[in-house]
Amino acid sequence: MSISLPLLLFFIVVVTSGAATDLPMTAAADLPFPNELAKTLSQTPTNFTLPPISQSPQPSAPAPAPPLPGPLVPALFVLGDSSVDCGTNNFLGTFARADRPPYGRDFDTHSPTGRFSNGRIPVDYLALKLGLPFVPSYLGQTGSIKDMMHGVNFASAASGIIFSSGSELGQHVSFSQQVQQLADTVQHFILQMGEDSTAKLISQSVVYISIGVNDYIHYYLQNESGVQKLYLPWGFAQFLASNVRQEIKV
């Protein structure tokens, strides 16, 4: 279903932020493909109202999020690479961008949004399954609490766990920068809603992380810094995983 997704392998970690230590890690192959997921979704009796997706990368473009009856969690926060980028790289100087056809051809708006897919990406299906609207990209929303309170997507194509992975394609928001943006967002919530409401919202929300493939494509396979002399592929995976654990703990 999806075209030109440059994915060989990547890590998916789904955590509720209440349990940020000792994360389970599963390979992408364990997850159902989007079309299977879509079939499951079409069998669910609920009718979701989809918010219009802003088509131009204007930071001021509104991304209205109509309140939906009974979402399972208050918000979904997404960190990662092109597998879950929903528009971040539209704002960056990079070759890793999906802002022109045929990207988005089969998406709800039938136009490119910055998603690296002809249609929806996994986090879109997840959002709908949770009863939430599509999650706006951090750089693409207005910064108002209304835009952000159902979740924010920080993912940036070409990014990796290692800061410099993917840099030869241009700008990206690396994993540690995304974690920083999430921390900034939480600060913003606290200033707007107070500590108690924010703590409650965050502790009940889902954080979805999909990152790691670019550390292989753009770092390990290119033998940056002679890395292959130090690590076998599996040892490199352990190195990356421990970095993710470290970032999340902070």
Ligand X SMILES: *[C@@H]1O[C@H](CO)[C@@H](O)[C@H](O)[C@H]1NC(C)=O
Query: Which residues make up the interface to ligand X (CB under 6 A)?
Result: 45, 47, 223, 226, 228-229
What is the DSSP-derived secondary structure letter of residue 49? P
Residue 42 Cβ, how far from ligand X at the closest point, in Å?
11
Q: Residue 87 CB: number of other CB atoms within 10 A?
A: 26
Tokens of 34: 């989007």
Residue 43 Cβ, how far from ligand X at the closest point, in Å?
11
Residue 47 Cβ, how far from ligand X at the closest point, in Å?
4
Residue 211 Cβ, how far from ligand X at the closest point, in Å?
24
Residue closer to ligand X by CB (options 45, 67) is 45
CB-closest chain residue to ligand X: 226
User: Can you tell me whether residue 172 is helix, strand or coil?
Assistant: coil
Q: Is the peptide bond before 102 cis (omega within 30 degrees of 0)?
A: yes
Tokens of 242: 């421990």
Q: Are 159 and 178 in contact (CB under 8 A)?
A: yes
Residue closer to ligand X by CB (options 47, 60) is 47
Residue 226 Cβ, how far from ligand X at the closest point, in Å?
3
Q: How far apart are CA 18 and CA 201, in angstroms?
A: 11
Q: How far apart are CA 201 and CA 183, in angstroms?
A: 14
26 vs 10, 104, 131, 209, CA distance in Å? Answer: 9, 28, 24, 11
Q: Are 47 and 66 in contact (CB under 8 A)?
A: no
Q: How far apart are CA 235 and CA 197, in angstroms?
A: 41
Tokens of 163: 């800061």
Residue 126 Cβ, how far from ligand X at the closest point, in Å?
21
Tokens of 207: 């954080």
Q: Are 208 and 77 in contact (CB under 8 A)?
A: yes
